[in-house]
Structure 1
Amino acid sequence: MGTNASGKDTPVDYRFTLANERTFLAWLRTALALLAGAVAVLHLLPLDWNEAQRTTVGLTLTVLAGVITAYAPLRWYRVQKIMSRGEPLRMSALPIVTTVAVFAVCAVILWGNLW
């Protein structure tokens, strides 16, 4: 239950609540995959990279995983509150941040393997 703009209590449709939860879990899976990639780059893969390149890629993936892990529950909570009030959702910057960071990691990997 929540309060909409007119001051009346309105239940949040459970489908939207469950969709919000699925989005939260998708962000956590993304963070876990990034963290697994960081561990692989830093400790498991026998790459012929210099230490700086390996550290840059591994730490970038680790930081991005941490940001997503911290952001996911905050976004989930904010969306629940907004839905309960019947307000429109604002666009999130995290998909763009994630895209740019993953692109940067790809560029570092390609740069290191081509030159």
Structure 2
Amino acid sequence: MTEEEPDYRFTLANERTYLAYLRTSLACYAGGLSAVQFLDLGPDRWPARIIGLILVCAGIVTTAGAFRRWQQNLIAIRRGGALPVTRLPLMLGATIAVVGLIGLLFSLWR
């Protein structure tokens, strides 16, 4: 399949989406490290460590997934094809919901 130079607006929009995912992954890193450092959800702090681990892992997955998505979108744009489907937003939403529920449950339990 032949590749063409796309309208620069599509390339820039793809880059903005990539950067938005990177900002989200940075927020996951910061939230996870803050949870471990500052949350007090019990005497041995294991709930805070679980929340922190989940958030940092979500940040890692988001960083890798964002790069993969950026590459796939760029190839699709250059070939004039349909953009590939991604589960990254679903993963992020589910992770944030689970972490919120864990935090809520341990806050109520405490």
- TM-score normalised to the size of structure 1? 0.87
1:10 offset after TM fit, Å? Answer: 3.1
Q: Given the alignment, which residue of 49, 67, 73 partners 2:61?
A: 67
How far apart in 1 are the matches of 2:4 and 2:98? 44
Instruction: Give secondary structure in 1 for the equivalent of 2:70.
Output: helix
* Percent sequence identity over aligned pairs: 38
1:35-50 equivalence runs, <5 A: 35-43=29-37, 45=38, 47-50=39-42
How far apart in 2 are the matches of 1:33 and 1:68? 11
Aligned length: 107
1:14-93 equivalence runs, <5 A: 14-43=8-37, 45=38, 47-50=39-42, 51-93=45-87
The equivalent of 1:109 in structure 2 is 103
Checking the alignment, whether the CA contact within 8 Å between 2:40 and 2:48 is kept in structure 1 is: no
Instruction: Give secondary structure in 1 for the equivalent of 2:85.
Output: coil
Structure 2 unpaired stretches of 5+:
none
How far apart in 2 are the matches of 1:10 and 1:99? 35
How far apart in 2 are the matches of 1:94 and 1:42? 25
How far apart in 2 are the matches of 1:56 and 1:73? 26
Deviations 1:15-69 (A, max 9, x none): 00000000000000000011001111112x2x33132211110000000000011
Structure of greater Rg: 1
- TM-score normalised to the size of structure 2? 0.91
Moved over 2 A (4+): none
How far apart in 1 are the matches of 2:4 and 2:61? 33
